[in-house]
Structure 1
Amino acid sequence: MSSESLLSEHEPEDEDYSTAGTGNRAMEARAEHQRTKMYNSIYSFTTAMGTGLLILVLFWLLHYREGFAWTSDIKRQFNWHPFLMLFGMVFLYSQAILTYRTGRSKPKMKLKLLHGGLHLLAFVCSVIALKAVFDSHNLASPPMANLYSLHSWIGLLTVIIFSTQFLAGFLSFLYPGISPSLRKAIMPVHVVVGTSAFVMAIVSALTGLNEKAIFTLSDNYKNFVPEAFVFNFIGLIVVLYGLLVLYLVHDPMYKRDPLPEDQLALSGRDE
């Protein structure tokens, strides 16, 4: 058989391979489009729920708790504590841990900066919130004890773990950064600790809301006064919001696929 005959026999097979490769790429593109569309729909609903949570908390504090102040009125100074803790350690924190999935088509360096920036804002909120609650105790007449409740223990431990995680992540993954192999080994621990701290923030928020409801409303809480309903709705939204965030974080279907430029590390070495 001539070489021309052999070539003519193989040409259709090569064309089949090319067609099959194109078809697979098209299927993969469609699948990625569907995953992105589904993620964006759930993420948008989750973020809207988180925004609604903050609005409801503001309504509660402005309508029932007389708004905000600083040391001039320690009761109203305390109101910064629940708002900033929910804004920082629940809402901003959740947005930070979803950054890589939400910006799945963005360069990794931009996502790293956004991820770290949101964590920094959450940290600042938590510091101000802690200052507010300690002042409301220390400046009271007579002064109140600090860190006596289960909520305060869980809350302080959450902030400590979050702060340590933030510092370790900054030094390991952003600046100055560690070796690629060590980053790869640390990443699972970074993810688990970060997710655990978020769960602790949800638990802390729920225990704090329950404590505040009991202390503030006393017997009126069990009588279902309007403020009691607001307390319960805030707690319910916190739970649902937390569950949706954890679903988006842990479902492997929404994991970000690496981009070609992701292979460049901060120093120019391969990641």
Structure 2
Amino acid sequence: MENYKHFLVLLIFAFAVGFVSVVLVLRWVLSFREGLGWDGGPTEFNWHPVLVVIGFIFLQGIAIVVYRLPWTWKCSKLMMKMIHAGLNTLALVLAAVSLVAVFDFHNAADLPNMYSLHSWVGLAAVILYSLQIVLGVGVYLLPISPAYLRAALMPIHVYSGLFIFTCVIATALMGITEKLIFSLKDPKYKDSPPEAVFVNVLGVLIAVFGGLILWIATRPSWRRPSEEHLRRVQGRDPELESSKPAAAMSDRPDPEASKDARRRGKTEESGGAA
């Protein structure tokens, strides 16, 4: 990998920012809001931001860059596909539960659903993400699609994944701002109370995490090498493997030649003695 140290620093920084974002969203709902519950009230709604940050942002970010981790290049491509699909599926499950929480809260409080830009973009992101996973599993994980189809759809698959991730980041920023505007009454959001400052910091960290993941995922020099190249580097190329026994036989000493050499040596010694 080119610029490996640069990659490692950015990767550690990205994961650290993502982890801190998870900690801050938990701190937000546990300290400034009413905690977590499942009773149709505000505590159930609080699951929405928590699960979105954990699943739809942090886990999806890891799933996007998992192919670029150089220490996983020794793993088979099938194994990495399963890890990629598993992380994305877990993120989708958490996102779906977060939607159930917010719809339950709105219905219990007799609040309208799907009226804000946050809700429109968020629901669209969940639907697109679901289609992305279904098509990804059907085309790339199951051995049923031809190679030309996989190659043709790969640019679309990569672009749509990055587009959905960007939409999720934007939706999260809209959502936490909307929540603060509606929830903070005295003092109001515009007066910058401690909760507002705290959540604004959370929003900045989410944006930074998204930017780092997108940067890592779009560097051509950090892309996973082809399977043929990896086999050659790791000495597992079939041609190289087939040539190893022949090379080993050619390097092995010939016992008949050794016997002839010993006979010649004895003859020369006897001649010299005579």
**TM-score range normalised by the length of the shorter chain:** 0.7 to 0.9
Aligned to 1:175: 142
Aligned to 1:130: 99
Note if 1:81 corresponds to 2:41: no
Distance 2:5 2:21 in 1: 24
Contact 1:107 1:262 in 2 (8 A): no
Contact 1:85 1:129 in 2 (8 A): yes
Shift of 1:176: 4.2
Equivalent residues in 2 for 1:1-271, closer than 5 Å: 32=1, 35-71=3-39, 73-102=40-69, 103-140=72-109, 143-218=110-185, 220-260=188-228
Deviations for 1:38-83, whole angstroms, at most 9, x for unmatched residues? Answer: 2222111100110000001101110011210002x51100000011
Give the number of the structure whose alpha-carbon radius of gyration is greater. Answer: 2
Distance 1:117 1:248 in 2: 20
Structure 1: gaps spanning 5 or more residues: 1-31, 264-271
The alignment of Structure 1 onto Structure 2 pairs a total of residues equal to 228
Shift of 1:253: 1.5
Q: Which portions of structure 1, spanning 4 or more consecutive aligned residues, are displaced by more than 4 angstroms? A: none
| Residue aligned with 2:3, SS | helix
Aligned to 2:267: none
Structure 2: gaps spanning 5 or more residues: 232-274
Deviations for 1:8-67, whole angstroms, at most 9, x for unmatched residues? Answer: xxxxxxxxxxxxxxxxxxxxxxxx3x5333222211110011000000110111001121
Aligned to 2:236: none
Contact 1:108 1:262 in 2 (8 A): no
> Match for 1:234: what amino acid?
L
Contact 2:73 2:230 in 1 (8 A): no
Distance 1:89 1:129 in 2: 10
Contact 1:81 1:129 in 2 (8 A): yes
Distance 1:150 1:248 in 2: 29
Identical aligned residues as a percent: 39
Deviations for 1:206-260, whole angstroms, at most 9, x for unmatched residues? Answer: 1001100100114521111100111110111111111111100001121111233
| Residue aligned with 1:98, SS | helix
Distance 1:148 1:104 in 2: 45
Q: CA 1:195–1:177 in 2, change beyond 3 Å: closer, same or farther?
A: farther
Deviations for 1:112-165, whole angstroms, at most 9, x for unmatched residues? Answer: 01000001100100110000000001112xx11100111000000000111100
> Match for 1:237: what amino acid?
L
Contact 2:55 2:92 in 1 (8 A): yes
Distance 2:6 2:230 in 1: 24
TM-score (norm 1): 0.81
TM-score (norm 2): 0.80
Contact 2:18 2:58 in 1 (8 A): yes
